[in-house]
Chain A
Amino acid sequence: MDLIGVIMNAGAGLSVYRTQVATASHNIANADTPGYARQDAVPTETQPAEVAGSNAFVGRGVTLEGVVQSRDPFVEAQLSTAYSNSSSTSAESDALSTITALDPQVDGSVTAALGSFYSALRDLNQNPSDLGLRRSVVDSAKTLATAFNTTVNSISTSRTAIDQNVVAVVDKANGILASVADLNQRIALAENSGRTPNDLLDVRQNDLDQLAQMLGARPIPDDHGGVNVVLPGGTCLVSGIVASKLGYQADPSNSNHLDVVFEPQDGANPVALNQNELGGQVGGLLSARDDTLGAAESDLNNFAFELSQNINQQHEQGYAIDGTDGHDLFVQLTGPTAAAQNIDVDPAIYADPSLVAASGSMTAGSGDAGNLQAIIATEDKKLSNGLDPQESFAKITSDFGIAVKTVNDNASFDKNLLDDLTSARESASGVSVDDELLKLTQAQNAYNALSKVIVTTNTMLDDLMKII
């Protein structure tokens, strides 16, 4: 090999180490960038050259094999599901933890109102002609109705707030779906031209992580560098370079709460997606809205309806203080639907507590409490669920509590699992500034040494020129 060749080889080496310095710099700059995977400039030795007139081979320096990403496929394969599960249970847990209306010791609870209502009836039973005690019964009935209203409103308001969250998440997810389709195209173009677009891959991976968190969507790679995105129920949202959209529409069978719908590319009618066809944040939010809160709202409505029916039916059997027939103590409800929202004290009785039908006989005096004792007995009357009123509300509290505890425990478990996996990803793909500084130093030393090689070889050339 001639001296010029040595200088050329050293020059090529300088280029490799410049690239290593640039890569380390890029890594350090992106140490905190979400989705970024550490890159390595991988050097490789150049094919040796045969020395003329001998069988010896002499090395020709170093060249750059490529700049590659550090990713662990085993960890990456698990992260999508972990993101989906953790986001789902966290979103559900957060949504449920805002409900305080069923707290055991909250002011204005149905529990306290139920106790106060029957206490007022007992007080009146002792002296039914006392108008003050009658007012107390009517007021406590109003308090009970208000407790139902407040409790169910708290739940239905949360359900409506969840609708708004779902809309926000779906809108954001649509943007990311379009971004993934666009990145699929750009990545395919780059790879077709023989380059590895590491940074585009990072951006797409970050998008895929977000889609797993938002929708529980998982990536399915194709053979051309692209990634398809599929919902847990199998609905394909991104196919190669084509992205579909999700939308939402009111569901009349579910109090007009919003369904998430798949909007086909061909303009066909949107298809409503079941809750189990979605995961991530949206799946968790829908589960909180329709399973736990939906059940609590429905149970409260049934409870309010049946309790008011039982009390009304007995109240109608009695007589007011003036001997007139008793009518409903609570307004007549048409059915369980929205019963807890609509329950209220009959306006006529609220205005005139003497209409409370305490008496069991038309001819009895104002001190007769025959019907009151029967009304008090509704406290232990079983409802259609086989439970008395206090047991019914205890069950609503218990069902809600168990659901919250279960989802909280799951959220904690899923979060720990996700933390472990993100740590594993960070360990495999993350940037250690210390490592990069060492690589910088290493590349700097190699660069210095190669510079010396060039200077030395150049001196040798000068010496040779002097001879000539």
Chain B
Amino acid sequence: MRVTEKMIFESSVTQTGKARENLAEAQEEVASGSRVIHPGDDPVAASLSVGHTVDKARYTAIGNTAQRAADELNAADTALDGITTVANRAQQIATQFGNDTYTSTDRATAAVEVNGLYQQAVSLLNTTYGSRYIFGGSKDNAAPFAADGTYNGDDEIRKVEIAPGLYQAASIDADQVVKGSSGGVDLMKTMQDLSTSLTANDGAGIRQGIDKLNTCIEQLAAGRTQVGMAQDSFQSAVTAAQAATGDETVKIGKLLDADIVDASTRLASAQYSLNATLTATAKTLTMSLADKLG
């Protein structure tokens, strides 16, 4: 092939340009840590990364909301534990003051304590987590239990996602826990009745409260069981969501992240190649017959 000076110049421009382009690509990959900057770099990886990115956000959100639901259930459990303590104390008072050896004065004093326990129970049933009343069902922006024990909430059980599309109860029907379902006993009324009987020095009435409070304590225990099971579900969901988030992160990384060892090797190779191209170009361009002719 006949080679002209212009061919040598143009070849030098092309080869140097290619070497610089390779160097720039390798530098960008090493500097950014990404193998796929534009969709055209790897259309399949870019496309798959969309799904994994959205899934990662989904699992992160499920993990976060499940954790908040678990925290809220923890507050509900603490409140129910407090109410159980209140019911146990009321039962102790009923057992103790059901004995007719106590005077009306003694029972009146006990009635004051029962009234205090009652108010404590109302307060615990109106527990808030953040700004929400956790025992009001969907009516969570106002105290669900009035001072007289009336329930102003509703029976809705709130649900939170534990896996994509799968929802778990995140609250309990407090009215049912307190009053029991069919055949159950209303804790609030029982405590009111106990107070009334103590005030009225009505031994039989006081003793009736013992069994009723026992039933109430069992109802509260059943409620706490529901809460505990839900807590377990949410804690499992948090763990699973964290694992899934990590899994998605790894998948995205495999699709888009640069192999730094490989990229660094290519960077070194591109640097060497550019250096060699520039050296060869410089040497070639100095050769001309014009310099040799006298």
Interface residues of A (CB under 8 A from B): 31-32, 96-97, 100, 102-105, 111-112, 114-116, 118-120, 122-123, 125-127, 129-130, 359, 361, 364-369, 373, 376-377, 379-380, 390-391, 393-395, 397-398, 400-405, 408, 419, 422-423, 426-428, 430-435, 437-438, 441
A122 touches B65 (CB 8 A): yes
Q: Which of B43-51, B94-102, B199-207 interfaces with chain A? A: B43-51
**B40 sits at the interface (CB 8 A):** yes
B65 touches A432 (CB 8 A): no
Q: Which residues on the A side are within 8 Å of B256 (C-beta)? A: 104-105
Q: Which residues on the B side are within 8 Å of A427 (C-beta)? A: 1-4, 7
Q: A114-B57, A123-B65, A394-B51 are in contact. List 13 more A-B contacts (CB 8 A).
A: A115-B58, A119-B61, A359-B138, A365-B136, A365-B154, A373-B161, A373-B167, A397-B47, A400-B39, A401-B41, A405-B41, A419-B14, A433-B288
Closest to A408 in B: B40
**B224 sits at the interface (CB 8 A):** no
The B137-164 residues at the A interface (CB cut-off 8 A) are: 137-141, 153-154, 156, 158-161, 164
Q: How far is the CA of A394 from the CA of B68 in the complex (A)?
A: 31
13 A-B pairs whose Cβ atoms sit less than 8 Å apart in the complex: A102-B38, A103-B39, A104-B49, A104-B53, A119-B60, A119-B61, A125-B160, A373-B167, A376-B161, A401-B47, A404-B40, A419-B14, A423-B11
Q: How far is the CA of A126 from the CA of B129 in the complex (A)?
A: 12
A442 to chain B, nearest CB (A): 12
Closest to B7 in A: A426
B203 to chain A, nearest CB (A): 43
Q: Which residues on the B side are within 8 Å of A422 (C-beta)? A: 10
A363 to chain B, nearest CB (A): 8
A102, A367, A379, A441: the one contacting B293 at CB < 8 Å is A441
The answer to whether residues A100 and B289 also contact, given A123-B65, A367-B138, A395-B47 and a CB cut-off of 8 A, is no
A116, A122, A367, A441: the one contacting B141 at CB < 8 Å is A367
A112 to chain B, nearest CB (A): 7
Q: Which residues on the B side are within 8 Å of A104 (C-beta)? A: 36, 39, 45-46, 49-50, 53, 256
The answer to whether residues A426 and B140 also contact, given A119-B60, A130-B131 and a CB cut-off of 8 A, is no
**B232 sits at the interface (CB 8 A):** no
Q: How far is the CA of A369 from the CA of B10 in the complex (A)?
A: 69
A103, A115, A365, A426: the one contacting B137 at CB < 8 Å is A365
Q: How far is the CA of A120 from the CA of B61 in the complex (A)?
A: 8
The answer to whether residues A126 and B170 also contact, given A111-B50, A377-B165 and a CB cut-off of 8 A, is yes
A380, A408, A432: the one contacting B165 at CB < 8 Å is A380
Closest to A102 in B: B39
